[in-house]
Structure 1
Amino acid sequence: MTDHQLTRVHVWDGVAHLGVRSVRWSDNTRAGRIDAIEAVEDDGTAEFTVLPGLIDTHVHLIGNASDTPADFLSWPLTTRPEEQVLHGLAHARRALSVGVTTVRDLAADDVQFSLARALEAGIVEGPRVLAHGLVNMTGGHGDLFIPPAVVERKPVADGPDACRALVRRWARSGADGIKVPVSGGVLSVGDKASWRNYTDAELAAIVDESHALGLLVAAHAHTEDGIRRALAHGVDSVEHATKLTARLADEMIATATTVAPTLLINDRIADGTAPAAPAQREIAQELVADRDPAFRAAADAGVEFVLGTDANGFHVDFSDQWEELRAMARVFGWDAARTLESATSRAARALGREADLGRIAVGYAADLVVVRGRPWADPAALRGDAVVAVVSRGRLVAGSFPEALLG
């Protein structure tokens, strides 16, 4: 185990600016921890800030990470799982390079579970991966990413008993949580956002079984009815929530349900800057038409929005988290500090990891990002190119420490 220290650096701890401090941490094979945060004399020359590592609560690691063009839908069907793991690792490391030290994959199976275990064991270098197993009905949002002619399909579950069985299967495989589509989606083939996914009896079984096994439930829901049903069954987070209403926002506040708004991906599909079929673009355009004022009102009322990009390497890259944060600041009217909270302390709380992630505090994971300037005070400074060094699990994994911080 080795001790490390940065000194004369601004510390923004996930909630507030602490001033100029020194930060000391240790590393070991599995996980480094922060040992001390101490005041030092502020002579006005500090140029750098240390932040907690960013947390992206909604990604999809498995997809083409190479420079060779590939079709978004067909690549997973023509690529061996052994090879998919390597592409997932490349995507994870790309996120790590811009300061994202924790990602949550929301369509996981044994490929992502295997990658998460290898990263946690220190076999390969990368961010912490929390993987939610996908519980999906026949003809549901997740199932419709696979063309009908493909015989080998990802597992689906129909009926309450089958839903419970698939939750148990993923729990046995090492899932950190469960993802369930409650409405249709944008990119699934032949889908409509308005389609109901799962009956109330099936949803009740999924949520009950997941919570009984200590697993959080993230619900994919675009429509008003989908959001309503997800909340009624006690999910822990709603992903997208594009057609959020004031009444549903009040329910979210009362139940402390968080939302990952995934702004960039839907905007890019809607405006044509990301490749998509005409039908997909039309769905996205309809979904985002009234989204921003509804989201702004919900945020003002107290709905907990956290960073979630839906990064897949195709429509949103794994280095786009800072751009997503700037979009959140614009849509929600947040200052820079509140925006950073959505990617650190508040995101950690949404994942049930507020006791060890998302803060710079003694005993917390030594996941640190060193950036130029004062990003807690200036939304324009929320940029990936301001990152100069990234520490994950106590180890320097990207960039280098400025000499001024090592004295």
Structure 2
Amino acid sequence: MIHPHLSRVHVWDGASHLGVGTVRWSDGAPAGRIDAVDVTDPEGTAEYSVLPGLIDTHVHLIGNASDTPADFLAWPLITRPEEQVLHGLAHARRALSVGVTTVRDLAADDVQFSLARALESGIVEGPRVLAHGLVNMTGGHGDLFIPPAVVERKPVADGPDACRALVRRWARSGADGIKVPVSGGVLSVGDKASWRNYTDAELAAVVDEAHALGLRVAAHAHTEDGIRRALAHGVDSIEHATKLTASLADDIVVAGTTVAPTLLINDRIADGTAPAAPAQREIARELVAGRDVAFRSAAAAGVEFVLGTDANGFHVDFSDQWDEMRAMARVLGWDAERVLQAATSRAARAIGRDADLGRVAEGFAADLVVVRGRPWEDPDALRADAVVAVVRRGRVVAGSLPASSTS
């Protein structure tokens, strides 16, 4: 078993800066673990810093990853699943190259489950993928990504019994969790964010069955009603939460539910930076109109926002996590250290992996990012071009370890 190390580096452990020291890890089977963290100079100086690998809690891996232009909605319909999984791998590796060592795919089926297994077993190199099976109603947000004339559609579930059956199907297929829309969305065709998705009885069945099978539930919710209903039924995270109110923020804090704010994607659709139809742009503009003020107030009230980009390779790229983090600092009023926590240790807690991910500490996974400088001191320093090396499962998978730090 090999025991690599970094010495004379700043150690930011997922919560705070410890000082300058050495981090040692193993890269043997079944997965690399951190062996020791020795801080020898709490006030020292160094050129490089080591951070925990970033965790993006909301992505969509399956989409066009090539340089050949493709239509966002048509591409999945004309691309075979065998080919889709390769595009998903390309997206995953792009995220890995900028220090994202864990992603959570929130619209998964057998394509993502297969990719996740291949990555976990080490057949191919990439980040850890947690895949949440989508439980969605006929004519719901997820179903509206497929034109009505298309006969071969993704699975849907209508009625409490069918909802339970689809949760069980995804659990059998290897899902790490369940995603359920409780409001409409932005990019789905003919959708309105204000539309209710699922009755209370159906939503209760989804959450109850998922929790009975040990699966976390992420709820897509833009509206006040959607957020309120998601909280009432005990979901584990809320995605977007764009129309969050002060009262709902207090309820979220009491419930301990995490929120992925997905700032960039809605901003880019609203301002035309990312391509979108006029109707989609209008939905996004309405959603973000009062969002920033509400989110800053919610952050001050203690809402647990975590890194979630909604990256799909089309509106948000799989190397945009650092840009999202700077946006979080700006919108939420956080300093750089609080943002980094939201992308590491707090994100790990949000996905139920805080016992082995998101920290630079003995016994934790050797998922590490080596960067120039001290990014926890300045939000403007949260940049992908500062990354010089990425370690995943104890192996260097992007860049190279600084020679001055390994001697």
Q: TM-score range by the shorter chain?
A: over 0.9
Match of 1:253 in 2: 253
- Distance (Å, rounded) in 2 between the aligned partners of 1:211 and 1:72: 33
Matching of residue 154 in structure 1 with residue 154 in structure 2: yes
SS at match of 1:27: coil
Q: Is the 8 A contact 2:19 2:44 kept in 1?
A: no
Q: Is the 8 A contact 1:29 1:122 kept in 2?
A: no
Q: Is the 8 A contact 2:269 2:284 kept in 1?
A: yes
- Distance (Å, rounded) in 1 between the aligned partners of 2:331 and 2:72: 28
SS at match of 1:105: strand
- Distance (Å, rounded) in 2 between the aligned partners of 1:382 and 1:17: 15
Match of 2:19 in 1: 19
1:132-153 Cα offsets, whole Å, 9 max, x none, are: 0000000000000000110000
SS at match of 1:179: strand
- Distance (Å, rounded) in 1 between the aligned partners of 2:14 and 2:213: 30
Match of 1:120 in 2: 120
Cα distance change, pair 164–42 in 1 and its aligned pair in 2 (3 A) = closer
Matches within 5 A, 1:90-129: 90-129=90-129
Output the amino acid matched with 2:299.
Answer: A
Q: Is the 8 A contact 1:30 1:120 kept in 2?
A: no
Output the amino acid matched with 1:384.
Answer: A
Match of 1:178 in 2: 178
Match of 1:143 in 2: 143
Matches within 5 A, 1:346-357: 346-357=346-357
Structure 1, gaps ≥5 residues long:
none
Q: Is the 8 A contact 1:261 1:307 kept in 2?
A: yes
Deviation at residue 403 of structure 1 after TM alignment: 1.0
Match of 1:89 in 2: 89
Q: Is the 8 A contact 1:8 1:42 kept in 2?
A: no
Q: Is the 8 A contact 1:145 1:189 kept in 2?
A: yes
Matches within 5 A, 1:289-308: 289-308=289-308
Matches within 5 A, 1:184-199: 184-199=184-199
1:248-294 Cα offsets, whole Å, 9 max, x none, are: 11110010000000000000000000000000000000000000000
SS at match of 1:58: strand
Matches within 5 A, 1:6-405: 6-41=6-41, 44-405=44-405
Aligned pairs, how many? 407
1:226-250 Cα offsets, whole Å, 9 max, x none, are: 1010001000000000000011111
Q: Is the 8 A contact 2:19 2:41 kept in 1?
A: no
Q: Is the 8 A contact 1:193 1:283 kept in 2?
A: yes
Output the amino acid matched with 1:293.
Answer: V
RMSD: 0.8
- Distance (Å, rounded) in 1 between the aligned partners of 2:220 and 2:240: 7
- Distance (Å, rounded) in 2 between the aligned partners of 1:237 and 1:255: 10
Output the amino acid matched with 2:266.
Answer: N
Q: Is the 8 A contact 2:371 2:388 kept in 1?
A: yes
Q: Is the 8 A contact 1:246 1:298 kept in 2?
A: yes
TM-score by length of 2: 0.99
1:274-324 Cα offsets, whole Å, 9 max, x none, are: 000000000000000000000000000000000000000000000000000
Deviation at residue 30 of structure 1 after TM alignment: 3.1
Cα distance change, pair 232–44 in 1 and its aligned pair in 2 (3 A) = closer
**Percent of aligned positions with the same letter in both sequences?**
85
Match of 1:5 in 2: 5
Deviation at residue 44 of structure 1 after TM alignment: 4.7
Output the amino acid matched with 2:104.
Answer: R
Output the amino acid matched with 2:117.
Answer: R
TM-score by length of 1: 0.99
Q: Is the 8 A contact 1:135 1:157 kept in 2?
A: yes
SS at match of 1:70: coil
Output the amino acid matched with 2:90.
Answer: A
Q: Is the 8 A contact 2:19 2:43 kept in 1?
A: no
Output the amino acid matched with 1:399.
Answer: G
Structure 2, gaps ≥5 residues long:
none
Output the amino acid matched with 1:213.
Answer: L
Output the amino acid matched with 2:32.
Answer: G
